[in-house]
Amino acid sequence: NAGVTQTPKFQVLKTGQSMTLQCAQDMNHNSMYWYRQDPGMGLRLIYYSASEGTTDKGEVPNGYNVSRLNKREFSLRLESAAPSQTSVYFCASSSGFEKLFFGSGTQLSVL
Amino acid sequence: RKEVEQDPGPFNVPEGATVAFNCTYSNSASQSFFWYRQDCRKEPKLLMSVYSSGNEDGRFTAQLNRASQYISLLIRDSKLSDSATYLCAVNVEPPDMRFGAGTRLTVKP
């Protein structure tokens, strides 16, 4: 069972470069999420999508854009990467009211 | 004020100890509550859901106090394998799920 798959696992960017993190789930979940995790800060919600065609800002949306391409896929884009965006990024999905299933994470470094 | 606040830790306890974690949430309309476990460099995984009546799973007990807006996790007879970071999660306005900062537990022999 694949569950939630996110790519890439590791990425190094230079300041100002752009990139897109991809996420796909095969559990037919309506809701999908992007979190970032920094030491001592826990998981902070960047954006979420309650259902196909909708997206909403979380706690820390600045500097990010998202696209809910279809029910399975939810991508996160950094248009102009900054060192402050160095973090571990997790994609997750859920039915909406129940537990989240997480991808294995993307470790991003912005130099 | 953060939506979800959690004991900062770290907690260092000997094997066999009982340890408790607390987590408070700010939105009284929050509907569902969870505890996740995260091992180093891994994704969080659900440990248990938290129900109004409280629930127990082996050595783990979770409780919810809606009046005081907090949830707790009790681990009895700690094992070395319990060493991890424990994150509380609150479904603030479904599906908006917020997490605490996590509490790191180290169980020592």
Asked if B31 and A31 come within 8 Å (Cβ–Cβ), the reply is: no
Q: Which tens digits make up the pLDDT trace of A70-103?
A: 999 999 999 999 999 999 999 999 987 788 999 9
Q: Cα A7 to chain center, whole Å?
A: 10
Chain A environment of B89 (Cβ under 8 Å): 100
How many whole angstroms separate alpha carbon A81 and alpha carbon B70? 37
Backbone angles phi, psi at B36, to 5 degrees: -115, 155
pLDDT higher for A9 or A40? A9
Q: Residue window 9-68, chain A: list those with CB within 8 Å of chain B.
A: 30-31, 33, 35, 40-45, 48, 50, 56, 58-59
Residue of B nearest to A42 (CA): B101
B6 in contact with chain A, both atoms CB, cutoff 8 A: yes
Q: Which tens digits make up the pLDDT trace of A23-40?
A: 999 999 999 999 999 987
How many whole angstroms separate alpha carbon B3 and alpha carbon A93? 20
Average pLDDT over residues A50-62: 93
Per-residue pLDDT band at B55 (split at 50, 70, 90)? very high
Please name every residue paired with B106 in a beta bridge, in sequence order, or none if there are none: B12
pLDDT value for B106: 96
Per-residue pLDDT band at B37 (split at 50, 70, 90)? very high
Q: Cα A78 to chain center, whole Å?
A: 11
pLDDT higher than threshold 70 for residue B22:
yes
Are A111 and A14 spatial neighbours (Cβ–Cβ below 8 Å)? yes
pLDDT value for A1: 65
pLDDT higher than threshold 80 for residue B8:
no
B86 in contact with chain A, both atoms CB, cutoff 8 A: no
Chain B environment of A35 (Cβ under 8 Å): 99
Please name every residue paired with B75 in a beta bridge, in sequence order, or none if there are none: B19, B60
